[in-house]
Amino acid sequence: MKASSAWTTAVLSAAIVLTAPFVIAAAARGESTIFKSSAGPLSVKTIASGLVHPWGLAFLPDGRMLVSERPGRIRIVTPDGVLSPPLKGVPKPYVGGQAGLLDVALDRDFPSSHTLYFCYSVDSGGNAAVARARLNEEAAALDEVKVIFTQVGPGGQANHGCRIAQGPRDGNLYVTLGDHFGPRDEAQNLRVDNGKLVRIAPDGSVPPDNPFVGHDNARPEIWSYGHRNGQGLAFNPATGDLWEIEHGPRGGDEVNIIGKGKNYGWPVIGYGIDYNGAKIHESTSKPGMEQPIKYWVPSIAPSGMAFYTGTLFPAWQGSLFTGALAGKMLVRLSLKGNAVTGEERLLQNLNERIRDVRQGPDGALWLLTDNAAGRILRVSPAGK
């Protein structure tokens, strides 16, 4: 259900995967909508509204949230939905097409350092920069803002990537960088950052054990390549492995387990076609190129990523969640080791583009809806 400046209550008929039709109602802030699921009735509560294309969400230690908005704002939001004014000191991004202020992430030592990172577009080509800053709540500002990495390569108005994950073991930053749509073949070119996943230290330096350090004609920050548009990135807490979710064109969205120096094939191999129906790929597989552990045809445009470890949904522990932009839903993937064993499509009648999904400290799932009147939603078992 799309957000608007004046919320109204409506009664709709809804059906999601594995369920029968039932009645839901559009919710104003603080009100709940009920959906069915394999874990029982779900309560979807509007926590906050009026955000402009919210993109990234990170929980502060006390349960409040940092939320980025694509036009160039970062706000603090309380668990009951009070929005702070935009923080001062945020660099002005280039905003156009899919470009703007994108992901935000806390340093693992945030409780003592107050350090955070964010990714944003710095030019009309959508090239990404990663900045490091310190949150100064007394001044309602970001202090000591420093750009620690800037993408190198040809630009474009789409497919910017820009998800950030910090390694739980090494503390390094892993960042998805899109292919920029037009120059898609550059995803195979190690001399540029298009279509790559890069690994940098928290100060922006290149770790000496990166796979292409010391290689001629290769950028040392590259960790893996052959990606299209990585919109989900997270470490699997069960294994420590880095997982990535990326958009295909018309079909071919992928879930990948990322390995050091590996080639994930875009655009040489894949499972989609171009938007005009033309063939893109040589084939679906090729020696030396990795296969996804899951792909979608047709495309759902997955975005955001969270492994569920909470106790509110015992039946869903170990599941992987992602939002869907084109698909307008929340998707749950059941896992057994590194295999996807099932898929459940949730909240389809919400009719919202889901940009980000996170597990909150309360064990609930927290979602960002991507539109000009975006919302923060909390998903929990009904009554909790």
Cα–Cα distance measured from residue 72 to residue 141, given in angstroms and rounded to the nearest whole number: 14
How far apart CA 90 and CA 316 sit, in angstroms, is 37
131-134: Cβ within 8 A, 24+ apart: 131/91, 132/202, 132/203, 132/204, 133/89
What tokens were used for 318?
């170990």
**Closest by CA position to 348, among listed 31, 19, 112:** 19
d(CA 29, CA 11): 17
For residues 132 and 101, the answer to whether their CB atoms sit within 8 Å is: no
Look-up: residue for tokens 């007394």? 138
Q: How far apart, in Å, are the Cα atoms of 304 and each of 126, 139, 141, 144, 188?
A: 20, 30, 26, 28, 24
Examine the residue annotation and report whether 114 is marked as an active-site residue of this protein: no
Joined tokens for residue 379: 């998903």
Helix (H, G, I), strand (E, B) or coil at 111: helix
- Which of 53, 114, 160, 227 does the annotation list as catalytic? 160
First vs last C-alpha separation in the chain: 22
| Angle (nearest 5°) at CA 348 between 230 and 271 | 40
Per the CB < 8 A criterion, the answer to whether 46 and 30 are in contact is yes
Catalytic residue numbers?
Answer: 160
